[in-house]
Homo-oligomer: A and B are copies of this chain.
Amino acid sequence: MSNKQILLKSRPTGWPVADNFELAETTVPEPGPGQIVVEASYMSVDPYMRGRMNDVKSYVPPFQIGEPLQAGIVGKVVASNGGAFDVGSYVVGMGDWANYTVTDGEGYHAVDPNLAPLSYYLGILGMPGMTAYVGLKGVAELKEGENVFVSAASGAVGQVVGQIAKNMGCHVAGSAGSDDKVAYLKDELGFDEAFNYKNEDVYKAMQRCNPNGIDVYFENVGGPQLEAVIANLNFHSRIALCGMISMYNATLDDMPPGPRNMALLVGRSAKMQGFIVFNYPELGMEWIQVAAGWLNEGKLKYHESVAEGIENAPQAFIDMMQGKNFGKQVVKLSDA
């Protein structure tokens, strides 16, 4: 069986470009004992991948030059050599940027293609959705009726953050990078306030959109918005540091300065906590139940951008990093 893979050709310095990636045609090896072969229906592209392209200490090892990049994949088991999943079943897990992945199935779990579209298991029912829930409940300890702000609010994580908070009776404000996205947040997702950070003064917008101050900030971007948030924090407020998309691409000397007003965190007894979804596995599982219920009741909406074909995965990743996607970005690899 022939396979197409995307390899890391070189490590980006700054923003990733097409030349950092390379398409390779190989054949799918026979699965070893206990292994399965998954034909991917969809793969995910996510901001955290940019971090793994750097050669630095982090919670997962960096991608290796000349090797396939890794991504969340969902798809059908097409071969098994005594593996944990039956041929014909659907699974989600970490696989290659490729049409086919051979794996021992560690970290994989079965999914039900009738409960939700397969791609949802990479988004609202997958890591981005879990990240939103874990950040709000586990890290920020969000309570009913608090005041919440989320950046990158129309993104894969942000749109879920806002809807969870609305379902908890919170005042919810968010920022996004286009007027269309802002309209989507207010008209479709029920945000109380939203602004376009590209064409409004961030300090003024932050005050206007958070009239009661901010109890919880779900941080997806880094850069100037964080400083404006800190200026509006309430006592005992919490910042869940999820990603900082504006900073993944920068070398230290090019990085935007951090917030100048961090001393305000002292007087306001505010907490800022970095986290990854794997820190709270129980909450992640809890989310799938909560989300399935809310999807059924119509209390949760979801927007995706879908690219087509493994060849287009690098460009889908590059575009997502620059904010050109609308909602969760996935790549469709087959009708499997």
Task: List A residues at the B interface (Cβ < 8 Å).
Answer: 51, 57-59, 222, 226-227, 235, 241-244, 247-248, 250, 252, 255-276, 279
Of chain B, the residue at the smallest CB distance from A227 is B258
Indicate if the CB atoms of B276 and A269 lie closer than 8 Å: yes
With A252-B260, A257-B257: A268-B235 Cβ-Cβ less than 8 Å: no
Checking B265, B274, B275, B276 against A274 with a beta-carbon cut-off of 8 angstroms, the contacting residue is B265
Contacts of A267 in B (CB 8 A): 51, 57-59, 274, 276
Indicate if the CB atoms of B275 and A269 lie closer than 8 Å: yes
Indicate if the CB atoms of A269 and B222 lie closer than 8 Å: no
A270 to B257 alpha-carbon distance, docked (Å): 19
Indicate if the CB atoms of A241 and B266 lie closer than 8 Å: yes
Expressed in whole angstroms, the minimum distance between the Cβ of A273 and any Cβ of chain B is: 4
Contacts of A247 in B (CB 8 A): 260-263
A203 to B316 alpha-carbon distance, docked (Å): 37
A230 to B3 alpha-carbon distance, docked (Å): 42
Indicate if the CB atoms of B276 and A266 lie closer than 8 Å: yes
A296 to B257 alpha-carbon distance, docked (Å): 47
Checking B241, B261, B266 against A252 with a beta-carbon cut-off of 8 angstroms, the contacting residue is B261
Per CB-CB distance, the 8 closest pairs between chain A and chain B, nearest first, are: A258-B258, A257-B257, A265-B274, A58-B267, A255-B260, A244-B263, A247-B263, A266-B274
Of chain B, the residue at the smallest CB distance from A271 is B273
Checking B58, B235, B260 against A258 with a beta-carbon cut-off of 8 angstroms, the contacting residue is B260
Contacts of A242 in B (CB 8 A): 266
Provide a sorted-by-A list of 19 A–B residue pairs whose CB atoms are within 8 angstroms.
A51-B263, A58-B267, A58-B268, A59-B267, A59-B268, A59-B269, A222-B262, A222-B263, A226-B262, A241-B266, A244-B263, A247-B262, A256-B260, A258-B261, A267-B274, A267-B276, A269-B273, A271-B271, A272-B273
Give 20 new A-B contacts, CB below 8 A, not counting A247-B261, A247-B262, A269-B273.
A51-B263, A57-B267, A58-B268, A59-B235, A241-B265, A242-B266, A243-B263, A248-B263, A255-B260, A255-B261, A258-B259, A258-B260, A265-B274, A266-B276, A267-B274, A269-B274, A270-B273, A271-B272, A271-B274, A272-B273
A255 to B252 alpha-carbon distance, docked (Å): 19
Of chain B, the residue at the smallest CB distance from A254 is B260
Contacts of A273 in B (CB 8 A): 265, 269-273
Contacts of A235 in B (CB 8 A): 59
A259 to B260 alpha-carbon distance, docked (Å): 8
A262 to B246 alpha-carbon distance, docked (Å): 11
A239 to B42 alpha-carbon distance, docked (Å): 40
Indicate if the CB atoms of B257 and A241 lie closer than 8 Å: no
A135 to B269 alpha-carbon distance, docked (Å): 12
Expressed in whole angstroms, the minimum distance between the Cβ of A59 and any Cβ of chain B is: 5
Contacts of A258 in B (CB 8 A): 227, 257-262
Contacts of A222 in B (CB 8 A): 262-263
A235 to B57 alpha-carbon distance, docked (Å): 10
Expressed in whole angstroms, the minimum distance between the Cβ of A144 and any Cβ of chain B is: 23
